[in-house]
């Protein structure tokens, strides 16, 4: 299951705002930055660089992260930006899900 378009952060200005004002949390697979947005839903932005792998690998990682957020039980009103580290390409989905869940909770999204 993927995220609806309204629940995605797409504009560079929105990414900059989250990076400058958000709370950070990091682990071996991802970096997570979160900030309140005042909307009735969670919005997610993804950053997966070429260091993660080729286009096929990067798209796989992005699909997995979107799936994690489609299944995660997060409170309303947060902007969350997930930056994938190169190790996320080789991680199992369950490991990625667990690490993102922990990082989101540490960043304050409950």
- Tell me, what's the pLDDT at 40? 87
CATH code reported for the domain at 5-104: 3.30.230.10
Q: Whole-angstrom Cα distance, residue 38 to residue 78?
A: 7
Q: CB–CB of 30/88 below 8 Å?
A: yes
Write the DSSP string, 29-94: SEEEEEEE--SSS-EEEEE--TTS-SHHHHHHHHHHHHHHHHH----SSEEEEEEE-GGGGTS-HH
Q: Whole-angstrom Cα distance, residue 103 to residue 98?
A: 9
Answering whether pTM is above 0.85, one says: yes
For the chain (110 residues), the mean pLDDT of every run of 10, in chain order, is 81 95 94 91 93 96 90 79 95 94 86
- Tell me, what's the pLDDT at 1? 57
Would you kindly state where each structural domain of the chain is located, as residue ranges?
Answer: 5-104
């Amino acid at each position: 299951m993927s995220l609806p378009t309204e629940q995605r952060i797409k504009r560079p200005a929105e990414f900059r705002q989250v990076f400058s004002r958000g709370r950070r949390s990091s682990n071996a697979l991802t970096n997570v930055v979160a900030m309140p947005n005042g909307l009735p839903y969670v919005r997610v932005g993804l950053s997966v660089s070429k260091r993660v792998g080729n286009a096929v690998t990067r798209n796989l990682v992005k699909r997995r992260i979107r799936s994690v957020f489609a299944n995660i039980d997060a409170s309303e009103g947060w902007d969350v930006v997930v930056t994938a580290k190169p190790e996320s390409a080789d991680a199992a989905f369950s490991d990625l899900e667990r690490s993102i869940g922990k990082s989101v909770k540490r960043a304050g999204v409950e």
